[in-house]
């Protein structure tokens, strides 16, 4: 835990996990936009990361004036474990842990969150890290849980999974203790650890807790777990019981679902960026009455001006703005370009974004390009200024298998670029229109395809690039939609209203 | 996308238990084993001689020689007791790392230190103890002390390298030579006997030394030095202080009741220089020590065959990803092995004791011993049996690397044995021997409880406290 920046007391504290100020991307720019856009509030940021070495040495964002407090914590750094101390632990306290687990496992959150485990005192004094790590009661507890639920499993794996899953809880509790007097409102951009931290602070101090979920955290963790399970064991033993791996996976999933539920049970309001996300939140246990959609907005003025710089005709360029990582499914994009190039041999495909995050995956992409012989069509441009890239693009595309509300689509719209995207997150709502009747009436600003369907993507590309009337129509819809529903002003005004209301309630109570 | 891109693989990696296989648990019993044997040989026969020769020996040569030898045995075992366990532990650790080439150079280093330290300790000690004796006598005593010290170090190493058969043969050869030389030099009185002890033990030491060199040569690309002092230099981990002290305390404890008797008025008397003996106490207890042999053999067998195997299985079960029920099963097997070994010690030793009790009068009559000693002998036999039990528990404690507990118990052994022996002397002749036996009864019972607790919590300790 390290305080990076401390010049004033913040009004609003934003705990965020693996994003601002060390990682660029949707959530990070959302946070930056919010902070710079609402200079009347002073903000504090709590960065929660995995290991120090997973991030750049220096923050990627320059701190705005009204960002007055920044603290970082790396959760899996092998740091000060409490000194080993044999102890007994108390049976009663572990009964309360049992209640919490029961609550975690309940399908519907009919029961209210067990009040005994609400306060920080429980995590810092009753069952503290040392009790969990070293006490006999904790040992019996783990053994009993193992016997009840997973008696066939490798106990060594089970034991370490239990430890790995739980240790962040105390890291968060300690952080909550340090931060409980920072800010009057806690605003978390995700559930997960950041949401858990916010819940702890909110329960301890009765501060309001605003949750804005970009993707659906719990779902994203599930994807992570399933994809990591393939290389979970270095030795792939054919005699190894795969159900064991699955059980350990499901332990993690249940944990994330559990802490997600904790966030949902405490946060008010529970915000999301688009309709589908809201429905998913409700399915994961959020109260529909508290849920609301506040979409992202983009700076239309700056990008709108770039339309003047566009060349005549439709540039035969398909641009994918995103990191070269598996979740963006760059391989399907490469395949789609192969199919497109069969019809439009001169088509160009630009991948704009860093390729050093998943080196192995990037290497596989390069090999695929060689194999499919599209080397002359596809370019990797690295990190670029989008206001220069967008005017040269004919189509903006996203082939991701998971997204929240991708800002790039809106930015493309603002710059007059139609979009071809997979059907993930809010893409459908952005391209075909959302819950609002008026929005849907505008028409389509591109094409939405199923996930991992290179042929459908290619058809979309060809359709737009070779049909000028269709392209111009899509461009018009795109510009209209972003100007009506997704402007930065609208976004900031809505959040200002949310904050004002929350501060108002705070005063009343 | 918010969230930490964590990888489960990273988290699960390197999560195996680092269970160092501490195959040195035997040392506790091995360090006392040969000692008991040699003590029995010398005292059984030496003292028996004195009591058997009804014609009084005006010079008391045999008695004086035996007492001198016993004092050298006791003092050198206390002195080397400090090094024996840390040294064997050091060797066991290196063997585990497959660095066999470090054994010989470190053994040489250890011997050099033993000799230098022995000289510094023994010379003033001998001058003080034998102020009435000639300088030649003092010189012989110092030599004997050092040779015996070297024998203990070589002995414990040879035993922990499992050269059991050779060790026994070497002991027989060494003691045969003692008798031979003693017979040849019988005209030189006590000096002749001392020289016999030195020559016999020197042969024993040389044979052990040769055995070690033969089985563990030092040549290796990784080691160019002939003599090393790694045990003390923390090159491969810290010096095991707790083991050192518990080894020394144990050797003090097994002598302290005798020393108290020797130096108490009425029961003890001067034999030679400042050395004392106790006619009442010594003979029955040394005779009782003879009875320990069958029990010790059984325990040794159980420790090596039963316990060591289930201990290894327990750790293998953990590291080979077994289910909790299997881990618990192997833990139970370990507990069963301990239970079995202790039951067998009590049972076999108990049977043997009953035989001894029933035939005690006959034995005493055969050796023409006064029946006055019988009650003391009975009590001592039981005390010795309890000491065997306690020694076994200590061996388990060393095996499970419970150094702190072992140290506390050996310290308690010293204190209880001294205190209760002193009280027994105050209470009068009927209570002689009870001090020693009651002390061991207390220690045996409470150390069993400790061991039980440790074994019950072994899985907890293994997983949670490391």
Q: Residue B4's closest chain A neighbor by CA?
A: A18
Average pLDDT estimate for B56-72: 75
Reported as a pLDDT band with limits 50, 70 and 90, residue B231 is confident
Taking a C-beta distance cutoff of 8 angstroms, is the pair B161, B94 a contact? Answer: no
Give the pLDDT confidence score for residue A227 in this predicted structure: 67
Does residue A209 contact residue A268 with C-beta atoms inside 8 Å? yes
User: Which three-class secondary structure string do you get for A263-322?
Assistant: HHHHCCCEEECCHHHHHHHHHCCCCHHHEEECCCCECHHHHHHHHHHCCCCCCCEEEEEC
Residue A287 CB coordination number (10 Å): 15
CA distance A180 to A178: 6
Average pLDDT over residues B323-351: 88
Local structure of residue A487 (DSSP, 8 states)? B
Q: Residue A480: enclosing H or E segment and its boundaries?
A: helix A468-485
The residues near B363 (Cβ < 8 Å, ≥ 6 apart) are B356
- In this structure, the number of other CB atoms found within 10 A of the CB of residue A275 comes to 16
Least confident of A45-54, A65-74, A116-125, A194-203: A116-125
How far is A355 from chain B, CA to nearest CA, in Å? Answer: 16
- Give CA separation, B211 vs A288, B164, B169, B223, B252, in Å: 83, 11, 11, 21, 29
pLDDT at A354 over 70: yes
- CA B402 to chain A, closest CA, distance in angstroms equals 14
In angstroms, the CA A164 to CA B120 distance is 56
Residues B34, B167: contact at Cβ < 8 Å? yes
Q: Confidence class of residue A291 from pLDDT cuts 50, 70 and 90?
A: very high
| B3 and A CB contact within 8 Å | yes
- In angstroms, the first-to-last Cα distance of chain A is 33
Contact A302, A387 (CB under 8 A): yes
A221 touches chain B (CB under 8 A): yes
In the predicted model, is pLDDT for residue B25 greater than 50? no
Q: Which of residues 28-47 of A touch B (CB under 8 A)?
A: none
pLDDT tens digit string along A359-405? Answer: 889 999 999 999 999 999 999 998 888 889 999 999 999 999 888 88
- Rounded to a whole number, what is the distance in Å from the CA of B320 to chain A's nearest CA? 8
CA distances from B201 to A229, B134, B146, B174, B283 (A): 65, 22, 10, 6, 24
Beta bridge partners of A44: A13, A69
Read off the pLDDT of residues B287-301 as tens digits, 9 standing for 90 and up: 788 777 777 777 777
Select from B9, B318, B464 the Cβ nearest to the Cβ of A139. Answer: B464
Contact call for A404 and B16, based on CB within 8 A: no
Q: What pLDDT, on a 0 to 100 scale, did the predictor assign at position B186? A: 77
| Residue B15 clears pLDDT 50, i.e. is over it | no
Looking at the predicted structure, is the pLDDT value of residue B9 above 50?
Answer: no
CA distance A235 to chain B (A): 11
Q: What are phi and psi of B248, to 5 degrees?
A: -70, -45
Average pLDDT, chain B: 81
In angstroms, rounded to a whole number, what is the distance separating the alpha carbons of residues A426 and A440? 14
pLDDT digits (tens, 9 = 90+) for B180-215: 888 888 788 888 889 999 999 999 999 999 998 888
Considering only the top CATH level, what class is A300-486?
A: alpha beta
The three-class DSSP label of residue A154 is coil
- Strand B275-277 and strand B269-272: the pairing is antiparallel
* % chain A with pLDDT above 90: 41
DSSP secondary structure letters along B327-374: HHHHHHHHHHHHHHHHHHHHHHHHHHHHHHHHHHHHHHHHTT--GGGH
Rounded to whole angstroms, the Cα distance separating B22 from B387 reads 24
Provide, as residue numbers in chain B, all residues whose Cβ is less than 8 Å from the Cβ of A231. Answer: 9
Q: Is the pLDDT of residue B44 over 60?
A: no
For chain A, domain boundaries: 300-486
**pLDDT tens track for A454-496:** 999 999 999 999 999 999 999 999 999 999 999 999 999 999 9
- Asked if A23 and A60 count as a contact pair (C-beta separation under 8 A), the reply is yes
Whether residue B19 is predicted with pLDDT greater than 50 in this model: the reply is no
Does pLDDT of A123 surpass 80?
yes
Please list every residue in chain B whose beta carbon sits closer than 8 Å to the beta carbon of residue A234: 9, 13
Cβ neighbours of residue A93 closer than 8 Å, sequence gap 6 or more: A122, A126, A127, A131, A137
Find all residues with CB under 8 Å of B191, minimum gap 6, and list them. Answer: B136, B137, B140, B185
Number of H helices, E strands in chain A: 20, 14
Instruction: Give the Cα separation of B292 and B380 in Å (integer).
Output: 11
When mean pLDDT is compared across A27-41, A148-162, A412-426, the lowest value belongs to A148-162
- Among candidates A362, A306, A359, which has minimal Cα distance to A333? A362
- Which A residues 379-438 touch B at CB under 8 Å? 402-404
pLDDT in tens, A261-281: 889 988 888 999 888 888 888
Question: Given pLDDT bands bounded at 50, 70 and 90, which one contains residue B53?
Answer: low
Handedness of CA B111, B115, B116, B122 (dihedral sign): positive
Cα–Cα distance, B263 to B222 (Å, whole number): 53
Is the model's pLDDT at A209 over the cut of 90?
Answer: yes
Whether A373 contacts A344, CB under 8 Å: no
Q: Hey, are the CB atoms on A215 and B7 less than 8 Å from each other?
A: no
Higher pLDDT, B63 or A494: A494
Task: Kindly list the residues from chain B whose CB atom is less than 8 angstroms away from the CB atom of residue A193.
Answer: 4
Nearest Cβ partner of B324 from A19, A146, A164? A146
- The SS3 assignment for B223 reads strand
Q: Would you call A86 and B465 a contact, using CB atoms and an 8 Å cutoff?
A: yes
Nearest-neighbour CA in chain B from A215: distance (Å): 6
| Interface pTM, i.e. ipTM | 0.71
pLDDT computed for residue A107 by the predictor? 64
pLDDT of residue A417: 94
CB within 8 Å of B238: residues ≥ 6 apart: none
Residues of chain A contacting residue B9, judged by C-beta atoms under 8 Å apart = 228, 231-234
Contacts of B466 in chain A (CB under 8 A): 84
Q: Quickly state the pLDDT bin for B444 (edges 50, 70, 90).
A: very high
Judge whether residue A16 has pLDDT over 70: yes
Contacts for A353 with CB less than 8 Å, ≥ 6 apart = A320, A321, A322, A323, A324, A382, A383
Least confident of A213-222, A334-343, B65-74, B193-202: A213-222
Whether the Cβ atoms of residue A333 and residue A364 lie closer than 8 Å to each other: no
- pLDDT per residue as tens digits for the range A428-462: 999 998 878 888 899 999 999 999 999 999 999 99
- A135-139, B159-163, B169-173, B262-266: the lowest-pLDDT one: B159-163
Phi, psi dihedrals of residue A74, rounded to the nearest 5°: -105, 120
**Residue B428 burial by Cβ neighbours in a 10 Å radius (0-12, 13-18, 19+):** exposed
Helix and strand totals (H; E) in chain B: 18, 2
Check CB contact under 8 Å for A215 and B2.
yes
Q: Is the distance from CB of A59 to CB of A22 less than 8 angstroms?
A: yes
C-alpha–C-alpha distance, residues A123 and A259, integer Å = 15
Lowest mean pLDDT among A238-242, A294-298, A300-304, B114-118: A238-242
Whether B321 sits inside 8 A of A156 (CB atoms) is yes
SS3 percent helix, strand, coil of chain B, rounded to 5, is 80, 0, 20
To which H or E segment does residue A32 belong?
A: helix A26-37
Taking CB atoms and an 8 Å limit, are A156 and B7 in contact across chains?
no
Cβ atoms of B209 and B170 within 8 Å: the answer is no
> What integer pLDDT is reported at residue A381 of this predicted model?
92
pLDDT at residue B416 is higher than 70: yes
Nearest-angstrom CA–CA distance, B146 and A235: 56
Residue A469 tokens read as 């009337």
Nearest to B2 among A50, A75, A214 (CB): A214
pLDDT at B8 over 50: no
Mean local confidence (pLDDT), A248-266: 86
Interface check A189 vs B, CB under 8 A:
yes
CB contact under 8 A, B11 and A54: no
Beta strand extents in B52-157 (DSSP E only)? none
Per the model's pLDDT, the better-predicted residue between A362 and A237 turns out to be: A362
Compare A482 and B225 and report the one with higher pLDDT. Answer: A482
Lookup result for tokens 């004033």: A8
* A106 touches A284 (CB < 8 A): no
Could B466 and A327 be called an inter-chain contact, meaning their C-beta atoms sit closer than 8 Å? no
CA A504 to chain centre: 29
Contacts of B366 by beta carbon, 8 Å cutoff, 6+ apart: none
H/E stretch holding A162: helix A155-179
* Chain B nearest C-alpha distance from A353 (Å): 15
Top-confidence residue, B229 or B134: B134
pLDDT > 70: what percent of chain B? Answer: 86
């Amino acid at each position: 835990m390290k305080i990076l920046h401390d010049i004033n007391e913040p009004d609003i504290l934003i705990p965020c996990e693996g994003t601002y100020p060390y990682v660029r991307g949707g959530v990070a720019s959302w946070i930056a936009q919010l902070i710079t856009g609402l200079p009347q509030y002073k903000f504090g940021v709590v960065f929660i990361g995995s290991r120090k070495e997973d991030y750049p040495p220096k923050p990627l964002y320059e701190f705005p004036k009204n960002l007055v407090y920044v603290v970082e914590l790396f959760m899996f750094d092998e740091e000060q474990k409490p000194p080993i101390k044999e102890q007994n632990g108390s049976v009663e306290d572990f009964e309360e842990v049992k209640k919490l687990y029961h609550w975690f496992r309940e399908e519907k959150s009919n029961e209210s969150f067990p009040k005994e485990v609400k306060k920080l005192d429980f995590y810092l004094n009753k069952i503290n890290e040392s009790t969990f790590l070293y006490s006999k009661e904790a040992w019996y507890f783990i053994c009993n849980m193992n016997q009840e639920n997973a008696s066939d499993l490798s106990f060594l794996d089970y034991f370490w999974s239990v430890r790995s899953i739980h240790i962040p809880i105390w890291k968060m509790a300690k952080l909550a203790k340090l931060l409980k007097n920072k800010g009057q409102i806690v605003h978390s951009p995700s559930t997960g650890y950041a949401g858990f931290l916010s819940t702890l602070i909110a329960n301890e101090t009765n501060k309001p807790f605003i949750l804005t979920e970009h993707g659906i955290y719990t779902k994203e963790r599930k994807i992570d777990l399933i994809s990591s399970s393939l290389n979970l064991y270095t030795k792939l033993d054919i005699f190894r019981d795969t159900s064991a791996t699955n059980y350990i996976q499901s332990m993690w999933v249940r944990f994330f679902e559990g802490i997600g539920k904790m966030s949902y049970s405490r946060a008010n309001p529970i915000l999301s960026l688009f309709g589908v996300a809201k429905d998913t939140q409700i399915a994961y246990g959020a109260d529909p009455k508290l849920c609301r959609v506040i979409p992202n907005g983009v700076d239309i003025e700056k990008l709108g001006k770039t339309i003047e710089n566009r060349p005549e005709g439709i540039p035969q360029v398909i641009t994918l703005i995103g990191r070269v990582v598996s979740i963006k499914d760059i391989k399907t994009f490469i395949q789609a370009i192969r199919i497109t190039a069969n019809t439009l041999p001169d088509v160009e495909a630009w991948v704009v974004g860093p390729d050093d995050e998943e080196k192995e995956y990037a290497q596989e992409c390069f090999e695929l390009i060689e194999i499919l012989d599209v080397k002359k069509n596809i370019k990797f441009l690295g990190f670029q200024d989008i206001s220069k890239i967008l005017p040269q693009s004919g189509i903006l595309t996203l082939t991701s298998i998971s997204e929240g509300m991708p800002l790039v689509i809106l930015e493309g719209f603002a710059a007059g670029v139609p979009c071809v995207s997979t059907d993930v997150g809010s893409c459908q709502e952005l391209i075909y229109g959302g819950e609002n009747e008026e929005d849907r009436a505008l028409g389509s600003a591109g094409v939405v395809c199923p996930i991992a369907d290179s042929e459908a993507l290619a058809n979309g590309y060809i359709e737009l690039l070779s049909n000028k009337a269709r392209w111009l129509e899509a461009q018009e819809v795109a510009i209209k939609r972003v100007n009506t529903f997704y402007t930065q002003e609208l976004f900031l005004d809505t959040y200002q209203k949310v904050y004002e209301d929350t501060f108002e309630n705070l005063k009343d109570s | 996308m918010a969230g930490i891109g964590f990888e489960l693989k990273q988290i699960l990696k390197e999560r195996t238990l680092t269970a160092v296989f501490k195959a040195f648990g035997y040392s506790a019993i091995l360090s006392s084993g040969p000692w008991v044997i040699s003590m029995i040989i010398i005292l059984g026969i030496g003292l028996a001689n004195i009591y058997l020769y009804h014609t009084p020996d005006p010079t008391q040569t045999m008695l004086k020689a035996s007492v001198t030898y016993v004092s050298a045995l006791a003092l050198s075992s206390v002195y080397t007791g400090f090094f024996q366990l840390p040294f064997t532990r050091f060797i066991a650790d290196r063997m585990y790392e497959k660095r066999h080439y470090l054994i010989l150079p470190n053994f040489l280093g250890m011997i050099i230190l033993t000799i230098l330290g022995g000289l510094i300790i023994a010379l003033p000690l001998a001058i003080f103890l034998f102020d009435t004796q000639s300088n030649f006598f003092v010189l012989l005593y110092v030599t004997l002390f050092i040779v015996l010290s070297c024998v203990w170090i070589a002995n414990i190493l040879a035993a922990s390298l499992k050269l059991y058969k050779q060790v026994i043969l070497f002991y027989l050869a060494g003691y045969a030579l003692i008798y031979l030389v003693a017979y040849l030099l019988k005209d030189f009185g006590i000096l002749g006997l001392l020289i016999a002890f030195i020559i016999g033990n020197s042969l024993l030491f040389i044979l052990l030394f040769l055995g070690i060199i033969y089985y563990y040569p030092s040549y290796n690309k990784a080691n160019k030095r002939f003599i090393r002092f790694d045990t003390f230099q923390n090159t491969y981990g810290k010096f095991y202080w707790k083991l050192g002290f518990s080894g020394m305390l144990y050797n003090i404890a097994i002598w302290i009741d005798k020393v108290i008797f020797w130096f108490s008025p009425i029961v003890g008397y001067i034999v030679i220089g400042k050395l004392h003996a106790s006619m009442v106490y010594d003979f029955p207890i040394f005779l009782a020590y003879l009875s320990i042999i069958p029990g010790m053999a059984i325990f040794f067998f159980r420790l090596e065959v039963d316990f060591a195997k289930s201990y290894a299985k327990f750790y293998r079960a953990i590291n080979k990803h077994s289910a909790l029920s299997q881990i618990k099963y192997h833990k139970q097997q370990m507990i069963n092995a301990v239970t079995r070994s202790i039951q067998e010690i009590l049972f076999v030793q108990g049977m043997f004791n009953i035989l001894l009790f029933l035939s005690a009068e006959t034995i005493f009559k055969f050796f023409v011993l006064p029946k006055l000693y019988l009650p003391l002998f009975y009590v001592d036999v039981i005390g010795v049996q309890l000491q065997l039990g306690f020694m076994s528990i200590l061996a388990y404690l060393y095996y499970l690397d419970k150094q702190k507990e072992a140290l506390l118990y050996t310290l308690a052994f010293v204190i209880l044995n001294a205190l209760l022996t002193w009280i027994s002397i105050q209470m009068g002749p009927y209570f002689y021997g009870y001090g020693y036996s009651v002390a061991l009864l207390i220690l045996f019972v409470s150390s069993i409880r400790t061991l039980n607790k440790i074994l019950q919590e072994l899985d907890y300790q293994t997983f949670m406290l490391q």
